[in-house]
Each structure stands twice: as structure tokens, then as C-alpha cells.
Amino acid sequence: MKIYEDPQIEKIEKLLRRVCFYIKKKGRTILEDYDITPAQFEALQIIVNHKEVTISELSNKLYQAPSTITDLVDRMESKDLVKRVRDSKDRRIVRIEGLEKGHNILEAVIMERCKFLDYSLENVSKEDKDSFTEYLDILEHAYTEGK
């Protein structure tokens, strides 16, 4: 069934979707070893990569209601993955920061995902990996530039 006018673009989209699915599926298997849900992992990535975020910022980045994020952060806080910190300049603002355990879990999960990718690409030449990286950079740049 033809969906898009350019069959090559349609195939690229399909392959990207499948690869993302496989990586995410493998990642979810890894998460089970660390007693962390996929939603907690997504939130943890944002918190750690941004050093600190508010509930509102996290809500916007995860496309979830603030009440949902509050519950998520409560569960993460009870697992010692993150902590809430009052803003020193405005006590009404509460920021979420990653704790050492959260950082360690994030690193361990990403390490396992990298091993999975490394294994999956073991028969691919360095030159092809370089080209693949360039193409992914182009896609990411197009997304971040709002194309």
C-alpha cells in the first residue's frame, strides 16, 4: 500500500519507526532490571540532561498534565532517583534534580542500549557508521530547527 508520493522516503520512515521500536523494546527490558518504568526513565533523562527542571517544564517536555508529572515525581522521589529543591530566589518555585542513584541508573541503561546497538552494527564498517551518524544528525538538525 502506497502512503507517500516518494517510496524511498516512505521506506526510510518505516525503517526508522521499526528501529526506534526495537531500541525502545530492548530499553524497556533493561528498565525491568532497575525497577524503573519507561515514563520514569523518560523523565529522568530530561531531569539529568537539564540539571534541574520544574514540574511545569517537565510537563511540557513530556506532554503530560502537571498532576500526572507530580505523581510521577513522587514515585521517583520515593525511589531516591530525584529530589525536590525550593528555588533560593523564589520559594514558590520547586525544581526537580537528579540524585546519584538516578544518574547511575540512567548511565547503566544507556550503556546497555549502546551495547545493543554496537552488537547490532558489529558487521557495519566504520565508514558506513560515520555516514549513518551524519544522516541522523541531518534529521535531528531538521527537527530542532523546526523544519
**pLDDT digits 0-9 by tens, 77-131:** 999 999 999 988 888 899 999 999 999 999 998 998 899 899 999 999 999 999 9
Range of the domain at 27: 1-31
Helix axes 66-78, 55-62, angle to 10 degrees: 110
How many domains, the chain? 2
Q: Is residue 41 part of a domain?
A: yes
Are residues 88 and 43 part of one domain? Answer: yes
Per-residue DSSP letter, 99: -
Q: Is residue 142 part of a domain?
A: no
Are residues 27 and 91 part of one domain? Answer: no
Q: What is the pLDDT of residues 25-79, one digit of tens each?
A: 888 888 999 989 999 999 999 999 998 899 999 999 999 999 999 999 999 999 9
pTM: 0.82
Are residues 111 and 54 part of one domain? Answer: yes
Are residues 64 and 95 part of one domain? Answer: yes
Q: Is residue 88 part of a domain?
A: yes
Number of Cβ within 10 Å of residue 139's Cβ equals 12
Are residues 9 and 68 part of one domain? Answer: no
Residue 7 binned pLDDT confidence (cut-offs 50, 70, 90): very high
Can you read off the three cell numbers belonging to residue 16?
A: 526508522
Strand spans (E) along 11-74: 52-54
How many CA atoms are closer than 13 Å to the CA of 92, on its beta-carbon side? Answer: 1
Are residues 69 and 7 part of one domain? Answer: no
In this prediction, residue 53 carries a pLDDT of 95
Are residues 44 and 116 part of one domain? Answer: yes
The domain spanning residue 91 has which CATH number?
A: 1.10.10.10
